[in-house]
Amino acid sequence: MRTLRTSSVMAKSSEALLLLDTHIWLWEVFATGQLSSSIRARISDAAQLRRLRLSAISIWEISLLASRGKIELGPPVMPWITEAEGRSGIVFEPLSTEIAVEAGALPGGFRSDPADLIIVATARVTGAMLLTRDRRILDYGAAGNVAVLAA
């Protein structure tokens, strides 16, 4: 398993992957105005460098939200995902065995919904900076368990 780098190291590295939490990607794709210009620039820079990532579990979350009427995508989920992926320059990070094991054994007593566990584990395993506004994840990062960036 890769060694977790601290937030301060990740923030200085131009080579760091940027992993978006599900809500951040939706805000970016829908251009909701929820993200500051500096965060949007950071996302754009990561996309241009092919360092922008989204956990595959986020696709599951989006599909659930759409099927429950919590978000309106317009087209069916799969064509919407394909089109949004192409526009955003994001790379989907698959759920690997290593990520699954990490999600089940996160240090520091992190407890959340299964999607958040997998997203956090994905950031840890890939060495990515996790961009989120989720307070629980930000607190977990502040405790030194995952590299995070507040959106």
Residue with tokens 């754009």: 44
Residue 145: its pLDDT value, please?
96
7-150 has which fold? Answer: Rossmann fold (3.40.50)
Minimal CA–CA distance to 35: which of 136, 133, 137? 133
Reported as a single tens digit per residue, the pLDDT across 17-68 is 999 999 999 999 999 899 999 999 999 999 999 999 999 999 999 999 999 9
Q: Write out the DSSP string of the chain.
A: -PPPPPHHHHHH-TT--EEEPHHHHHHHHHT-S-S-HHHHHHHHHHHHTT-EEEEHHHHHHHHHHHHTTSS--SS-HHHHHHHHHHHHT-EEE---HHHHHHHHT-GGG----HHHHHHHHHHHHHTPEEEE--HHHHHHHHTTSS-EEE-
Residue 14: its pLDDT value, please?
54
Contact between 123 and 147 (Cβ < 8 Å) = yes
Reported as a single tens digit per residue, the pLDDT across 53-107 is 999 999 999 999 999 999 999 889 999 999 999 888 999 999 999 999 999 999 9
Domain ranges of the chain: 7-150
Q: What is the pTM of this model?
A: 0.89
120 pLDDT tier (thresholds 50, 70, 90): very high
Distance between CA atoms of residues 124 and 60, nearest Å:
20
Distance between CA atoms of residues 77 and 10, nearest Å:
33
Distance between CA atoms of residues 27 and 53, nearest Å:
15
